[in-house]
Amino acid sequence: MCEGNLPGIPSCMDSGTEMNLGTKQITNAVTGIPLQSRRITMYIPVHFKFHTSMIPTPDPGLLAAITRATCEAFRQAEITLPPDVKQAILTAKEHETSEIARGELANILANLEMAGALSVPICQDTGVPVVYLTIPPHVPLNNGIFDAIAEGVRMASREIPLRPNVVDPLTRENTGDNTGEGMPAVHVRPGDRLTITVLPKGAGAENMSRIAMMLPSERGQIPKFVAETMLIAGGKPCPPVILGVGIGGTFDGAAALAKEALLEPIDTMTSYEKELLAAVNALGIGPMGIGGRTTALAVKVKTAGCHTASLPVAVNVQCWACRRATVEVQC
Amino acid sequence: MDLCTPLSHEVLMLRAGDRVTLSGTVYTARDEAHLRMMEDGIPFDPHGAVIYHCGPVIQGQKVIAAGPTTSARLNSLSGFLIEKGVRALVGKGGMGRQVADQLKGRGVYLAFTGGCAALAASRMTLKGVFFEDLGMAEAVWVIELDRLPLVVGIDAAGNDIFEGVHRNAQAEFKKRFSLKKEAPA
């Protein structure tokens, strides 16, 4: 019964229920040679009540549902743009006066129609998988859920299909299935429902993103930093872009805020966001960097408290293909 | 104007800002393919050829999605292709002054709308592949185009539409934020 103990968990007692913890490879601690693979079971004492969040293995049915939902979210995001983004592109086309700029936006709209009609990705850079997860209180959060999401990414890569984009950063060896160390990038927070939001992120725009540790006295310079980011970027990030701006927090936190800002709908903007947008569009870079009135469709800002001596500012550049989709898992 | 490969002197007549369509054979090439071609030679006839800066999604024998990649990554890797007779580079976002100079009297840079991978794929037929070991995104795919809509980004006289836009953007930036020194290009 009591074939192996897990660290930190009480060993077997006289009475209780048996719990299956799956198969684990056991190795000899001295030689490192694998011993016969065996089933690990743990004996749970009756007086030791497990809270649901302590159960190490979530329902396999739920994990399968998470895998399917992840795949579906990618399918939706890769093939169909959210309505607010499509509307912003339509409005931009009306707003442009240059024939070339209108032509570029017309190509983008024709491309959206074609992707939908053929059920193929909008862009061949199907991005790296970025996933935002909300977990309700009754679902245990553990590696099983992360593995299920990674499996969903593999499924999406095969079925949609997605271009294999994930490589080792130094050897540049491609994993072939869009997963890898730290990929998919999964961000979790508690919620009242289990939702999977995906934001596949292409490299052309991501590569033009910037971060600055500004001085607290420089907060009036934020519009300049944001506009400068697009001045440097020019046509490279496939404008018209959407800019996610993270202000405050920590060095890494500002970048995370900037990316989260890209999840926000772009049909509303604060007056500060509109001010930043005006500064960017005044540059006249235009669709695809060949000139025009629409360099950015929107600017979205997220803020967080920061050190009194700090002002981290991050700009995450998103191409016009602002692909995001959310799928809820019933549980 | 409707261009058809192999390209010849007609590209020298094009002017930056012209809208054209392109039909015929193109060869996709990104960073790794350029490096391989520099080392091992060009695996196709470069005379009048067109290079497409693209890493497509291929499934079986079909082009699923094939929009352009950022051409500027290949700024320092393109000279040998133009010297060997390549007449047009197709991509997005523009290239540097170095490439504009190399193209003078020889060829053009044609811009395709970034991200328009489904539109592009609907006008493509897959013909073959070189350097498949480089992986899907980096291999050289031989693709037949049917009237892909493009804009002349850099013409054979050295006019660069992206350079003009950048100059204006820089002037506007300086005016708005009263910069003393120039922002990095």
Is the domain of A196 the same as that of A94?
Answer: no
Average pLDDT over residues A281-295: 97
**A 244-283 residues with CB below 8 A of B?**
279, 282-283
Inter-chain CB proximity B173 and A124 less than 8 Å: no
Inter-chain CB proximity A234 and B136 less than 8 Å: no
Q: Which two tokens stand for residue A322?
A: 């602002």
> What is the ipTM metric for this complex?
0.88
Residues of B within 8 A of A208 (CB-CB) are none
Total number of domains in chain B: 1
Share of chain A above pLDDT 90, in %: 81
Q: Does the residue A120 lie in any domain?
A: no
**Distance of alpha carbon B24 from alpha carbon B48, whole angstroms:** 11
Is the domain of A72 the same as that of A166?
Answer: yes
Phi, psi of A174 (to 5 degrees): -85, 130
- Tell me the average pLDDT of chain A: 87
Q: How far is B67 from chain A (nearest CA, A)?
A: 6
Give the predicted TM-score (pTM) of the model: 0.84
Q: Does the residue B73 lie in any domain?
A: yes
Q: Does the residue B171 lie in any domain?
A: no
Total number of domains in chain A: 3
**Which CATH number covers residue B98?**
3.20.130.10
DSSP A38: E
A15: helix, coil or strand? coil
* Element at A67 (helix H, strand E): helix A60-79
- Please report, as a single letter, which amino acid is at residue B28: T
DSSP B184: P
Band of residue A288 on the pLDDT scale cut at 50, 70, 90: very high
Inter-chain CB proximity A234 and B94 less than 8 Å: yes
**Distance of alpha carbon B172 from alpha carbon A288, whole angstroms:** 18
Q: What is the pLDDT of residues B21-58, one digit of tens each?
A: 999 999 999 999 999 999 999 999 999 999 999 999 99
Is the domain of A267 the same as that of A211?
Answer: yes
Is the domain of A287 the same as that of A320?
Answer: yes
**Percent of chain A that is helix, strand, coil (3-state, to 5):** 35, 25, 40
Is the domain of A93 the same as that of A241?
Answer: yes
Is pLDDT of A85 > 80? yes
Would strands A241-248 and A311-318 be described as parallel, antiparallel, or unpaired?
antiparallel
- Tell me the average pLDDT of chain B: 94
CB neighbour list of residue B4: distance below 8 Å, 6 or more residues apart: B22, B23, B24
Beta strands in chain A (DSSP E): 16-24, 38-45, 130-135, 185-190, 194-198, 210-214, 241-248, 296-304, 311-318, 325-329
The β-bridge partners of A196 are: A133, A327
Is the domain of A100 the same as that of A191?
Answer: no
Query: What confidence score (pLDDT) does residue B179 get?
Result: 53
Whether A212 and A228 have beta carbons less than 8 Å apart is answered as no
Whether B52 and B110 have beta carbons less than 8 Å apart is answered as no
Known catalytic membership, residue B47: no
Q: Domain range spanning residue A209?
A: 84-108+203-327
Q: Which of B69, B116, B124 to mutate to test the interface with A (most CBs of A within 10 A)?
A: B116
A119 interface with B at CB cutoff 8 Å: no
**Residue A190, Ramachandran bin (φ over 0: left; ψ between -120 and 50: alpha; else beta):** beta
Whether B64 and A121 have beta carbons less than 8 Å apart is answered as yes
Query: What confidence score (pLDDT) does residue A57 get?
Result: 65
Band of residue A24 on the pLDDT scale cut at 50, 70, 90: very low
Q: How far is A76 from chain B (nearest CA, A)?
A: 15
Q: Does the residue B181 lie in any domain?
A: no
Q: What is the pLDDT of residues A234-286, one digit of tens each?
A: 999 999 999 999 999 999 999 999 999 999 999 999 999 999 999 999 999 99
- Cis ω on the peptide bond leading into residue B6 (within 30° of 0)? yes
Q: Does the residue A88 lie in any domain?
A: yes
Q: Which of A288, A319, A320, A322 to mutate to test the interface with B (most CBs of B within 10 A)?
A: A288
Residues of A within 8 A of B162 (CB-CB) are 234-235, 289-290
